[in-house]
Structure formats: structure tokens, C-alpha cells
Chains A and B, each alone.
Chain A
């Protein structure tokens, strides 16, 4: 089955820790995206990548980092510099102009 997978589904982080969220797609899409969603809010773009080995900052990149070493994978690291990381994180990929989303990772800071 083609699709986008994210892991883990739930993640708990202690203050001061870096954590990495996984996003994998087997749809052969070139572009991939990371969004953050806070309760009752819309989607805010963190980073996006239109091609392997290239990525751009979105609207709220501070405290986050990404890599795009393979077409299929676009991991997001939430660093200790992100002061309020508790949120729902969504990964998406796109064919031409249409985005499709993974199931999300819910991150909670303890």
C-alpha cells in the first residue's frame, strides 16, 4: 500500500532533550513538508523540501531541524531550543500541487 507513515504516534520529551520524528513515504513524491498544529489552531509550516538534499525554512523553523538524504524520508528534530514543543506534528508529501498527510505524531513535553 502506498502512503505516508509517521512514527512514533505519541512521543514524550523531557525538557532539554532533542527528539526526532520520523516521516517516510512510498508515493514517489518529490516534495515533503512538516507542519505543527496546536489545539484549535490551523497548520503552521515548519520546513519543506522540494528535492533530495535541499530544504527551506517555513514560517516557524526556529528550534527545529530537518534533513533530506533520501527521497522517501524527511525526519524532523525538535531541539531543546524549541521552548514550547508540545503540539501535533504532521508530515505531508505532494505530487504537483496536492498535499497528502501522514497520521501525525503527538509530542508532549513533561
Chain B
């Protein structure tokens, strides 16, 4: 079992829909959780981070964390073609250090 698992996709949604990206992790001691977006041929860029159970919203993006279920998700509302990218989930077991474990990513395509 991988430490951080994501649906490989590809995930395809129509423009304006909600895209839901999921991530599960195996280490119950995990403390911080990150979502990165990676466009084809480019490096990952940080979208959001979340530490506490519940929802965290930033514009069209909402991160959801459920530590009991070891599950973190990213919702993208009003999806745009420019959201088409690979989304990487990263998990960190130590909030005082930056060494994270990354999932393999989910590729999202938003169709006009």
C-alpha cells in the first residue's frame, strides 16, 4: 500500500461543474496536508494547505480533511479549462519539517 494514494484519473468535468479530487494516506500521525497543481511540463505550485479537520476555503478551492478516515480532498467549484492540470496531494508527519510524501497525482481535464 502506498503511503499517499490518489485516483490516477483522468478526471473529466464540464466547464462550470465541481471537480472533486481525493487523497488517502496511511500514516495516522500525519499532521499537515497540501495540494499542488502541476501544469504539463511545469513544476508544482502550491494551491492550499490544511491542518485541522473540516473545510478550508480559498476562492473557488475548498480543501476538506477527515483525520479519522485518513482522507483529504480538494473541491474546485466553477471549474474552468485553465484548471486542467495534474493535482498532487502531499502529506507531512512533522509540522516542524518540510519533508513530505507525495501522491502520484490526479489529472483533471475541464471541457469547455
Chain A interface residues toward B at CB < 8 A: 31, 33, 41-43, 45, 48, 50, 90, 92-104
Name A48's closest neighbour in chain B (CB-CB).
B99
Instruction: Tell whether, in the assembled complex, residue B43 and residue A104 are in contact, meaning their CB atoms are under 8 Å apart.
Output: yes
**A74 CB to nearest chain B CB (Å):** 13
Bound together, the chains give a CA A32 to CA B97 distance in angstroms of 11
> Is A42 in contact with B88, judged by CB distance below 8 angstroms?
yes
Q: Which of A43, A98, A102, A104 is close to B98, meaning CB atoms less than 8 Å apart?
A: A98
Contact B42 A33, beta carbon cutoff 8 Å: no
**Which residues in B have their C-beta under 8 angstroms from that of A42?**
88, 102-105
Are B46 and A98 closer than 8 Å at their CB atoms?
A: yes
Which A residues lie within 8 Å of B44 (CB)?
43, 90, 101
Q: Are B100 and A99 in contact (CB under 8 A)?
A: yes
Number of B residues with CB within 8 Å of any CB on chain A? 24
Does chain A have a CB within 8 A of B34? yes
- B31: chain A residues at CB < 8 Å are 97
Q: Give the chain B neighbours of A94 by CB distance below 8 A.
A: 97-99
Within the assembled complex, what's the spacing in Å between the Cα atoms of A84 and B45? 27
Q: Is the interface of B mostly helix, strand, loop or mixed?
A: loop
The reply to whether A31 and B97 form a contact with Cβ atoms under 8 Å apart is yes
Indicate if the CB atoms of B104 and A41 lie closer than 8 Å: yes
Q: What are 21 contact pairs spanning A and B, CB under 8 A?
A: A31-B97, A33-B98, A33-B99, A41-B104, A42-B88, A42-B104, A43-B44, A48-B99, A90-B43, A90-B44, A93-B98, A94-B98, A95-B98, A97-B32, A97-B92, A97-B96, A99-B90, A102-B43, A103-B42, A103-B43, A104-B42
Given A41-B104, A42-B103, A102-B43, are A96 and B90 also a contact pair (CB < 8 Å)?
no
Q: Which of B84-112 contact A (CB under 8 A)?
A: 88, 90, 92, 94-100, 102-105
Are B43 and A96 in contact (CB-based, < 8 A)? no
CB distance from B45 to the nearest CB of A (A): 7
B61 sits at the interface (CB 8 A): no
- Chain A residues in 8 Å Cβ range of B104: 41-42
